Amino acid sequence: MLVSEALEEMDGVAKADASHDTGTIVVEYDEKKVDLPAIRAVIEGQGFVVTT
């Protein structure tokens, strides 16, 4: 499964766009339904490193 697909399956995530060219992912989410630690856990669970 792609990391963007895994994120978009989360309740509260509206959209996730990943770019292999830039090594980034942009996530649109509802702060009332999901928090950054949960988003980070999904990304890291897919084998990626999160930097902020």
* pLDDT more than 70, % of the chain: 100
User: Mean pLDDT, to the nearest integer, of 15-30?
Assistant: 94
d(Cα 39, Cα 30) in Å, to the nearest integer?
11
* pTM to 2 decimal places: 0.87
- In the predicted structure, residue 18 carries a pLDDT above the cut 90: yes
Which residue pairs from 2-9 have beta carbons closer than 8 angstroms and sit at least 24 positions apart in sequence?
A: 3/42, 3/43, 3/46, 3/48, 6/42, 6/45, 6/46, 7/39, 7/42, 7/43
Structural domains present in the chain = 3-45 (3.30.70.100)
